[in-house]
Amino acid sequence: MVKLTINTKEGPTVELEVESGDKLRDVLMANKVDLYTTWGKVWSCGGGGQCGTCIVDVKSGADILTERTDAEKKKLSGKPESFRLACQTLVGDGENSGAVTIATKP
Ligand code: FES
């Protein structure tokens, strides 16, 4: 299990326990965390790694997450290393555990 803390742009902090290996976007959507800006809601590719609208900022625990995918390397070029695409990021490798903190809509 991974303890996931989400500092939302709107203010409230959300704390979740998620299965290691779960996709970050799926976890956020299932828990009704507002991941997308207004622009992102219009242009979201639906999790395909093509639009770059599902960016989150990983504040801690990045070592628990899976590595950046090729889609992320393309879409996040020039952005801070801590930025990830939620639709491309797995919260753990299926076996590890720990704690991760992210911020939405950086
Ligand atoms: S939802 Fe389009 S890149 Fe993540």
CA 74–ligand 1 middle distance (angstroms): 12
Distances (CA, A) of 42 to 3, 45, 49, 77: 30, 9, 15, 22
pTM for this structure?
0.94
Atom of ligand 1 nearest to the CA of 71: 3
Count of structural domains within the chain = 1
Substitution candidate for ligand 1 out of 41, 42, 53 with most atoms within 8 A of CB = 53
Question: Which DSSP state fits 98?
Answer: E
Domain hosting residue 89, numbered range = 2-104
Residue stretches of the chain with pLDDT short of 50: none
Is 94's C-beta closer than 6 angstroms to any atom of ligand 1?
Answer: no
Is 49's C-beta closer than 6 angstroms to any atom of ligand 1?
Answer: yes
pLDDT at 11: 87
Average pLDDT of the chain to the nearest whole number = 96
pLDDT at 62: 97
CATH number at residue 60: 3.10.20.30
Instruction: Write the Ramachandran bin of 21: left for phi over 0, alpha for psi from -120 to 50, otherwise beta.
Output: left
